[in-house]
Amino acid sequence: MSTIPTDINWSSLPFGYLKTDYNIRAYYRDGRWSKFEKSTDETIPVHIAATALHYGQSCFEGLKAFRCRDGKIRLFRPEENAKRLILSANGIMMQPVPKEIFIEACKEVVLINEKYVPPFMSGASFYLRPILYGSGGEVGVKPSKEYTFMVFGGPVGPYFKTGFKPMPMQLIKDFDRAAPLGTGMFKVGGNYAASLRASERAHGEGFNTVLFTDAKDHKFIDEAGPANFFAIKGNRYITPDSHSILRSITNMTLQQIALDLGMEVERRHIAIDELAEFEEIGACGTAAVITPVSRMVNRSNNNEYIYTMGGEAGPKTQKLYDILTGIQSGIIEDKYGWMVEV
């Protein structure tokens, strides 16, 4: 057992980068993946003509490890992240990372940084960031012949400073994060670059996050920048179906939990006007887990939708949150085998 660093205050960790002891790298060259290597270096040498730098050949994943009640450390649904990284890689013509390499690398990063995995039920977790990028030099627009896969990680607190507290969200129509037939369903860096102007403006206008609408007609709800959208209406869990949103693993999980709670799950187009009919709404993703929304403002016409429950999350949102985080910390039975021991 390694000793826990005494200078980390687990309960007040931000969601941010914190240096740990090791990260992992593997290289695709001459048609094969190298064995992965450990590194203590926080930096990487990059070819000046790397396709990642010029043409955005870069994608990533985000997943968490938890110290569970039995003292073991487990990753949450790493197979799903492995599969999604393959989809993203194929989506922008990169060499995919085989599932086994992905999962081994994730487990290894947790094990070699074990002392940074927050204690059971501390509210913090160990966040892993796998990255795949085109590292070979090209000047013409074409896929790289070489790729680098890295995984780093560190302890994080909640993504939004308020934690599991309702926050205001801004619906926008004048920026898109992805084109209708573009790369919205892949977890590529370029989508995030495209979302920055809108999200920074929203912060400046007093909102924690933005909700993008469909890029073709701007009539339907798509997703928040780094998180999917869901709504509760009666006994229904409703989440958008769209070509340009990322299939959130958290959202998939919440849909299953909702079904198990006897709720109906609808994945369909959601018109903006329906915001008036929902009882609870929220954003979900690995980083944020669930972020309940207190107030939605449509920036294009100033329509406002209020979802206050005395400053707390609504009852269904709370239930979903309790079950998801309960499974992750090992206090609720993991009947689907979502948790994978490192």
Ligand X SMILES: *Cc1c(COP(=O)(O)O)cnc(C)c1O
> Where does this chain bind ligand X (CB under 6 A)?
62, 187, 223, 226-228, 246, 248-251, 285-286
- Which residue lies nearer to ligand X by CB, 38 or 203? 203
Smallest separation, CB 71 to ligand X (Å): 26
* Alpha-carbon span 149 to 173, nearest angstrom: 35
Residue 176 CB, nearest approach to ligand X (Å): 12
| Least Å from the CB of residue 271 to ligand X | 20
Strand partners, 132: 59, 149
d(C-alpha 294, C-alpha 174), whole Å: 22
**Which residue, 250, 201, 200, 261, is CA-closest to 223?**
250
Q: Which is nearer to ligand X, 136 or 285 (CB)?
A: 285
Minimum Å distance from CB 248 to ligand X?
Answer: 3
Q: Where are the alpha helices (DSSP H) in 121-261?
A: 189-204, 249-260
Q: Closest Cα to residue 228, out of 218, 219, 237?
A: 237
CB 252, min distance to ligand X, A: 8
From the list 176, 247, 244, the residue with the least C-alpha distance to 210 is 176
Three-state SS for 103? helix
Nearer to ligand X, 52 or 324 (CB): 324
Query: Given the complex with ligand X, which of 62 and 134 has the nearer CB atom?
Result: 62
Task: Confirm whether 115 is a catalytic residue.
Answer: no
Name the residue nearer to ligand X (CB basis): 39 or 256: 256
Contacts of residue 335, defined as CB under 8 A and 6 or more positions apart, other chains included, come to none
Spatial neighbors of 14 by CB under 8 A, at least 6 apart, are 156, 157, 161
Which of 187, 219, 319, 335 is catalytic? The answer is 187
Token pair 């309940």: residue: 292
Residues known to be catalytic: 187
